[in-house]
């Protein structure tokens, strides 16, 4: 009986120790003592709409009011690639996973921010190069495993101004930065990244007519985030991100709320 009692006490102590370790593991995250940054734009009528989407902008209709019905309820209409959003593999590949089928582990990642805003301020058509990544790693060490690489072009400062954000010229051509296929290939095949995010409307840049980087990422099941906000407020490394798209069955993409947990 004593042996059984003693074994039971040891089991209880080990269980409590495991719980204590688990509590410590998550205590900082839920303590309210950490610093957070929202990397998403609000969904509203000011959202910039990709030209080909036509009437895919944000619309909201009031269904109920507190004064009339005792509750406030609204109905929304918008394209699934509006605002800060995520592209799912089935956006370009029939039969590939939809947004509701992406593995949850991909939505929790290390955050890497590569700042190319200096290049972009001089050349609006600048594309992230492999050399930019190598320089970043020379300064900050290799990109950690399970990271999402955010490309900070500085274009977020133009959000709300369609002419500047899309870079329209007199011939209706667009000019804004992006990611080169070479850089994307390096991140996908040479680094264990979860995906790539960028603060512009299309990851290939405004001059591209071929979604080559989209295909490279989505074919490999990597995350692709566009119109990411507030990248100037996130350090180059050591932040973490939580990404929460809508669980739309069969959706080819979704607006996404991105929470950065700052070091």
CA distance linking residue 217 with residue 115, whole number of Å: 20
Q: Give the residue extent of every domain in the chain.
A: 36-40+85-262
Residue 224 has pLDDT above 90, yes or no: yes
b/e per residue 195-221 (b: at least 16 CB within 10 A): bbbbbbbbbbbbbbeebbbbbbbbeee
CA distance linking residue 118 with residue 208, whole number of Å: 21
User: What was the pLDDT predicted at 162?
Assistant: 92
Average pLDDT (204-229) is: 97
Task: Answer yes or no: pTM beyond 0.85.
Answer: yes
Comparing 71-75, 79-83, 136-140, 155-159, the range with the smallest average pLDDT is 79-83
Q: Higher-confidence residue: 57 or 2?
A: 57
Model confidence band, residue 22 (pLDDT cutoffs 50, 70, 90):
low
Q: Tell me the two tokens of residue 136.
A: 């970043």
Q: Tell me the two tokens of residue 162.
A: 């369609």
Q: Tell me the two tokens of residue 73.
A: 């309820």
Residue 45 has pLDDT above 90, yes or no: no
End-to-end CA distance of the chain: 51
Q: Which helix (H) or strand (E) holds 117?
A: helix 117-122
Question: Which CATH superfamily is 36-40+85-262 part of?
Answer: Putative cyclase (3.50.30.50)
33 Cβ neighbours under 8 A, 6+ residues apart: none
SS3 83: coil
CB-count exposure of residue 8 (10 Å: 0-12, 13-18, 19+): exposed
CA distance linking residue 176 with residue 50, whole number of Å: 13
- In this structure, the number of other CB atoms found within 10 A of the CB of residue 192 comes to 12
CA 263 from chain centre, in angstroms, equals 18
CA distance linking residue 129 with residue 140, whole number of Å: 17
SS3 content of the chain, % helix, strand, coil (to 5): 35, 25, 40
Residue 58 has pLDDT above 50, yes or no: yes
Comparing 13-17, 203-207, 217-221, 248-252, the range with the smallest average pLDDT is 13-17
Q: Tell me the two tokens of residue 147.
A: 């990271």
Residue 38 has pLDDT above 70, yes or no: yes
Q: Higher-confidence residue: 7 or 176?
A: 176
Give the residues across from 62 on adjacent strands.
Answer: 74
Residue 232 has pLDDT above 70, yes or no: yes
Q: What is the DSSP string of 216-249?
A: HHHHTT-EEEES---GGGS-SSSEEEEEEE---T
140 Cβ neighbours under 8 A, 6+ residues apart: 236, 237
User: What was the pLDDT predicted at 33?
Assistant: 79
């Amino acid at each position: 009986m004593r042996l059984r009692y003693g074994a039971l006490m040891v089991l209880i102590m080990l269980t409590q120790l495991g719980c204590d370790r688990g509590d410590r593991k998550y205590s900082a995250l839920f303590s309210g003592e950490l610093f957070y940054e929202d990397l998403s734009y609000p969904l509203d009528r000011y959202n910039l709409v990709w030209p080909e989407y036509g009437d895919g902008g944000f619309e909201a209709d009031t269904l109920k009011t507190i004064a009339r019905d005792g509750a406030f309820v609204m109905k929304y209409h918008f394209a699934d690639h509006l605002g800060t959003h995520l592209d799912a593999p089935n956006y370009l590949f029939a039969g590939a996973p939809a947004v509701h089928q992406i593995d949850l582990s991909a939505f929790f990642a290390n955050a890497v921010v590569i700042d190319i805003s200096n290049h972009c301020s001089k050349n609006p058509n600048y594309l992230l190069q492999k050399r930019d990544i190598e320089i970043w790693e020379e300064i900050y060490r290799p990109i950690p495993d399970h990271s999402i690489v955010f490309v900070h072009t500085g274009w977020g400062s133009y959000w709300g101004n369609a002419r500047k954000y899309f870079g329209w010229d007199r011939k209706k051509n667009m000019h804004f930065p992006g990611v080169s296929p070479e850089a994307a290939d390096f991140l996908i095949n040479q680094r264990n990244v979860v995906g790539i995010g960028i603060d512009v409307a299309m990851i290939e840049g405004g001059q591209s007519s071929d979604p080559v980087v989209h295909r490279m990422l989505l074919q490999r099941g990597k995350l692709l985030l566009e119109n990411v906000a507030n990248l100037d407020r996130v350090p180059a490394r050591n932040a973490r991100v939580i990404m929460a798209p809508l669980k739309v069955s069969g959706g080819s993409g979704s607006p996404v709320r991105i929470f950065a947990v700052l070091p």
